[in-house]
Structure 1
């Protein structure tokens, strides 16, 4: 079986993530291809798309949000993701069990004795008036019935697990501040989420495998689980295995992939890219060594924005008064520093709507 080096995996991931060369595709197609973008920080998906798409215009994403073609919702790993409406309608039911277990893992004691079906019905009754509500407002509306559970536990279970919801604009619009107002997905999108397939079948699981590999592969089944948070996918992998090819990584682990997916030569040049906080290019793997050294593995979990140099996490970055400031994690060559500053200037221009192109490397 062919062994793929870490550098070869890096170049494959960059190609799938649209980070090897900016893509000339519509924003909706990019969000779909990526399987969504992690989006608990409302402005970060704009940076992620700008780093991936040629001539990205934030207004295009705003129009998709207000036009209800993409939504902000809890999905993979119980985190807020920006996903296409088609995907959330198709995928949400397959994530339900995971979402409930994730919330119970934090609030099991508080929710002990709470009938979750009754809680869901009570929450839906409150939201039936069409008014979006914050998590805490929704919880307070039903708190009298379950006073011992507490607002936080009730709200998390309702919004992140029991009731498929969308976060309504202006939350998530470009350079716009707005609190979270949740509304049921079915009323927001005008269609109920797809029901789970009959027991013994898992077409959504099989599609998640294909879509994950298209955007992240080659990858292990542990990587797939780390991205989705969903249990029970080994059966889906088994169902589509005849469609897949296999490799080994340098540690001997099996990597699965789609036959026709891009796997560039490991010596393919990789441009400098500025990634947003919580980018799935890092969080979408169990083993992130293809893109970041183990000593820096938790930077993205901590909400640090990172800079890719030669395809790997080599710096963090922030913005101070429209100036992009880069903090290297290793010694950068003179040529690398030049490229980092150049891309930093472009990033500053994008973030400031061309009011500034100032960028520097700290130290």
Structure 2
């Protein structure tokens, strides 16, 4: 079977909650549908949720992240920080984060022992335990508060020694990051507003164990249900796994080969339509994916969407030509491949946008899709401006077009 670009774009309306008729009721639904929200840039979580909620409020995002804790921030795919459904934390941890944490530990130990040979694995383990003990005593706390309780966290490492930009950095930040990657602490409320990247931490409950191979199969299943069809390269890029693990996961879920413009791809068995899809197979002990809701009458009408930088839909595939003209890539992605704020029309990127210092939402059309599309984008820009109110944000990874729009 062959999937055209048009068919693949049509699936985004439902599966990525982009059309108004398919928008979600709560932030948890958004995180479930997209298999996690990129959280490296703190503002992305709120803006990705906003674009997909029927009645978006910052309060609902805060509730899910900080009050109910039904969505949590954790390092997983490609060492990237994601906001994921809390119930799926074991799937992300044992499929991906565990391996990432092991690499991070080895890298940190190399850096520490280069600074001081006595700062070995035992020293690091003691520092981690001291930080954990302090968190248990203090409750949710910021890095400075924890370091005040644990003097060893105030030790420093010299970066770029001998260079004009030589600097010293405290060990504490690295220790807390490693504990977070290990799943032993979690990020709580930000130390600042909704765009702040500095967080408080709290001791995390132990995760129920999963067999890594089964956890990888579950993550592949969920990715295909939301992002499929996709190629082996797409899955490898998104997860950061080895090719062997990707192929193992695809085989475990019985992925079916299909033809795409860029070559061979995969879908879940029976998943050939444009609507939502939920596979029955899953790892024991993990929750079912949410059942598709009945859309409103206007669910399949043309739609526009303004998605933030690093949005999961923009970043979901390695091969992007089916929803992004390659000519426009240099304007919308930085040199490291980080996507900036994008304008979408019916499952295709047609431009980029930005928030100016005065709160104005400005956008530029890169692909002309007619008056209806332009009017719909203008309406979405006005809706976002109203929702932001006094709020402002600047992408952590500004792209060439974003820079131009905010000059």
Q: TM-score, normalised by structure 1?
A: 0.80
- Aligned partner of 2:375 among 338, 345, 354: 338
Q: Give matches, 1:265-304, under 5 Å.
A: 270-297=302-329, 299-300=332-333, 301-302=337-338, 304=340
Relative distance call for 1:291 and 1:176 in structure 2 (3 A) is: closer
The residue that corresponds to 1:308 in the other structure is 344
> Residue 166 of structure 1: SS of its match in structure 2?
strand
1:318 aligns with 2:318: no
Q: Equivalent residue for 1:59? A: 59
- Distance in 1 separating the partners of 2:12 and 2:132: 41
Task: Give the 3-state SS of the residue equivalent to 2:11 in structure 1.
Answer: helix
- Displacement of 1:134 in angstroms is 3.0
Paired with 2:62 and 2:270, the residues of 1 have a C-alpha distance of: 35
User: What is the CA–CA distance in structure 1 between the aligned matches of 2:326 and 2:102, rounded to whole Å?
Assistant: 28
List gaps (5 residues or longer) in structure 2.
Answer: 160-167, 276-299, 392-404
What is the rounded CA distance, in whole Å, between the counterparts of 1:314 and 1:105 in structure 2? Answer: 43
Cα 1:154–1:204 shift into 2, 3 Å? same
Pairs within 5 Å for 1:162-311 = 162=182, 164-170=184-190, 175=194, 177=196, 179-184=198-203, 186=204, 191-197=205-211, 202-231=213-242, 232-241=245-254, 244-260=255-271, 262-263=273-274, 270-297=302-329, 299-300=332-333, 301-302=337-338, 304-311=340-347
Question: Distance in 1 between the 2:109 and 2:197 partners?
Answer: 31
Three-state SS of the structure 2 residue aligned to 1:227 is helix
Structure 1 position 148, deviation (Å): 7.0
- Aligned-residue Cα RMSD (Å) equals 3.6
Aligned-pair CA distance for 1:291: 1.9
Partner of 1:159: 177
- CA spacing shift, 1:158–1:95, aligned 2, 3 Å: farther
Partners of 1:153 and 1:263 lie apart in 2 by 50
Contact in 2 for aligned 1:110/1:153 (Cα 8 Å): no
Matched, 1:129 2:166: no
Residue-pair matches, total: 343
* 1:1-22 superposed Cα distances (whole Å, 9 cap, x missing partner): x111122222223431111343
CA distance in 2, matches of 1:50, 1:145: 41
**Alpha-carbon offset, residue 176 of structure 1:** 6.8
